[in-house]
């Protein structure tokens, strides 16, 4: 899986994705556009005095702020930029991220670079083998990160159209190693409507 992460890093270095500065600007503009839309929705509910819908939407925004704050606190700049800029770079997949509270990778006894490489490589594998559904709606990919019982659990749940045989070949190295000789365990389930990949990295060696 690591070569995909290296390819992403190489693309960033070579400017094949438009350069880090341009990507950063595009990401900021995208986030600003999203929040402006949210404000307009709230203003509309307020103007129409639909306070019940306004309350429900505020709860949705609280969840959104919690997720974005969690990503920014992961502590690995390359991973933070990758996750935050994903919407700008990929329109065929909607990526959602669920993190255990206050998860900070540098504070864990785990190879943070290996975690970054693994997450990016798996997501890029889904991007490579995703297929555009007939209705034109984006496929969905949920990334979960949590530390529990001396294990960092990295979960991927994909819902949508994809080339299952191609994805199996791409991720055929599971289970494998983190790149520094540290072995990790994994589980994978593939069906016609999606796939689930779970990776478990031991904490503390």
Annotated domain spans of the chain: 2-202
Mean pLDDT of 129-150: 88
Q: In this predicted model, what pLDDT tens digit does every residue of 87-110 receive, in sequence order?
A: 888 888 999 999 988 889 988 998
- pLDDT, residue 124, reads 94
pLDDT at 96: 94
Handedness of CA 109, 111, 112, 116 (dihedral sign): negative
What is the C-alpha to C-alpha distance for residues 196 and 187, in angstroms, rounded to an integer?
Answer: 8
Rounded percentage of the chain residues whose pLDDT exceeds 90 = 37
Please report the pLDDT score of residue 23 as a whole number: 65
From its phi and psi, is residue 18 left (phi > 0), alpha (psi between -120 and 50) or beta? left
115 vs 26, which has greater pLDDT?
A: 115
pTM check: above 0.75: yes
User: Helices 20-47 and 51-72 sit at what angle, rounded to 10 degrees?
Assistant: 160
pLDDT higher for 23 or 12?
23
The pLDDT tens digits of the residues spanning 171-188 come to 876 645 445 555 678 889
For 102, 140, 190, the CA distances from 193, given in Å and listed in that order, are: 32, 11, 8
Given the DSSP bridges, would you call strands 139-148 and 93-99 parallel, antiparallel or unpaired? parallel
CATH of 2-202, one of 3.20.20.10, 3.40.190.10, 3.40.50.1220, 3.30.565.10: 3.30.565.10
Helix or strand run (H / E) with residue 54: helix 51-72
Residue with the bigger pLDDT between 116 and 185: it is 116
As beta bridge partners, residue 93 has 139
Q: What is the pLDDT of residues 192-205, one digit of tens each?
A: 899 999 999 998 75
Name which residue leads in pLDDT, 175 or 162: 162
The pLDDT tens digits for 11-22 are: 444 444 456 667
Are the beta carbons of 117 and 155 closer than 8 angstroms?
Answer: no
């Amino acid at each position: 899986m690591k070569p995909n992460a290296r390819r992403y890093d190489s693309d960033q270095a070579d400017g094949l994705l438009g350069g880090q500065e341009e990507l950063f600007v595009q990401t900021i503009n995208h986030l600003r556009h999203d929040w402006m839309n949210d404000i307009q929705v709230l203003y509309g509910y307020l103007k129409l005095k639909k306070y019940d819908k306004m309350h429900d939407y505020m709860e949705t925004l609280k969840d959104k702020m919690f997720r974005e704050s969690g990503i920014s606190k992961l502590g690995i700049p390359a991973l933070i930029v990758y996750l935050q800029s994903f919407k700008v770079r990929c329109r065929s997949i909607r990526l959602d991220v669920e993190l255990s509270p206050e998860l900070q990778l540098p504070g864990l006894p785990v190879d943070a670079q290996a975690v970054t490489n693994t997450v990016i490589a798996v997501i890029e594998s889904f991007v490579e083998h995703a297929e555009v559904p007939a209705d034109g709606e984006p496929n969905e990919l949920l990334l979960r990160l949590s530390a529990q019982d001396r294990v960092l659990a990295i979960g991927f749940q994909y819902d949508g159209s994809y080339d299952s045989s191609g994805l199996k070949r791409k991720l055929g190295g599971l289970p494998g190693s983190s790149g520094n000789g540290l072995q990790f365990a994994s589980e994978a389930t593939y069906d016609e409507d999606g796939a689930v990949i779970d990776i478990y990295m031991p904490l503390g060696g």
